[in-house]
């Protein structure tokens, strides 16, 4: 498998689990808007249209991690040249720094709660060069969720999304 492109870094996002678990806030708007309500009394259709408009307005600027890593590419305002690399090792160094700044929780019984950093790094160095995104999402020591994402561009799973820096 071959891939040619670059890697964008997103995050770190650190926040409460209840925010992260609101999946509706982490999905981009559907490309086909809902039909307008047939009357002012169609309360369900009105609520659906209102929610659609909220998502259209909020998703592109939200810092909440999207459900699919490739959807970060829709958030042009959160993409920067400083967090864009052609070298997977450089991208991984950025993610590792932020991972170490926000270490994962430790289990009370002393057993490992997550794969080791060495395992995470080895996997990332294996898959980034072939265009596979890497997402590290975990509970940190304060009980919040931390999310770091390395997103390949062009994206294998979202080939129609253009580079946010273009």
**Is residue 3 a contact partner of residue 131, using CB atoms and an 8 Å limit?**
yes
Number of domains the chain is built from:
2
Q: Which residues pair with 153 in a beta bridge?
A: 6
The tens digit of pLDDT for each residue in 17-76 reads 999 998 888 988 887 777 777 777 788 888 888 888 887 788 888 999 999 999 999 999
How many CA within 13 A on the CB side of residue 16? 3
Distances in whole angstroms, Cα of residue 75 to Cα of each of 67, 80, 122, 138: 13, 11, 28, 22
pTM > 0.75: yes or no: yes
Q: Do 1 and 54 belong to one domain?
A: no
Q: Do 44 and 104 belong to one domain?
A: no
Q: Do 49 and 4 belong to one domain?
A: no
Residue 9 lies in domain: 1-20+68-166
Q: Do 87 and 103 belong to one domain?
A: yes
Q: Do 72 and 36 belong to one domain?
A: no
Cα 74 to Cα 68: distance, rounded to the nearest angstrom:
11
Q: Do 128 and 72 belong to one domain?
A: yes
Q: Do 34 and 115 belong to one domain?
A: no
Q: Do 120 and 84 belong to one domain?
A: yes
């Amino acid at each position: 498998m071959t891939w040619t492109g670059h890697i964008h870094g997103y995050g770190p996002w650190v926040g409460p689990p209840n925010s992260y678990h609101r999946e509706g806030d982490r999905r981009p708007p559907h490309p086909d808007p809902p039909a307008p309500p047939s009357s002012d009394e169609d309360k369900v259709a009105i609520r659906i249209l209102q929610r659609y408009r909220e998502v259209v307005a909020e998703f592109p600027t939200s810092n909440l991690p999207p459900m699919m890593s490739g959807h970060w590419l829709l958030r042009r305002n959160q993409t920067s040249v400083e967090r864009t690399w052609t070298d997977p090792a450089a991208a991984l160094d950025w993610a590792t720094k932020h991972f170490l700044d926000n270490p994962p929780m430790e289990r009370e019984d002393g057993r490992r709660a997550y794969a080791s950093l060495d395992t995470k790094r080895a996997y990332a160095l294996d898959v980034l060069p072939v265009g596979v995104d890497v997402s590290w999402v975990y509970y940190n020591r304060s009980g919040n969720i931390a999310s770091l994402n390395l997103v390949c561009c062009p994206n294998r799973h979202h080939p129609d999304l253009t580079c946010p820096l273009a």
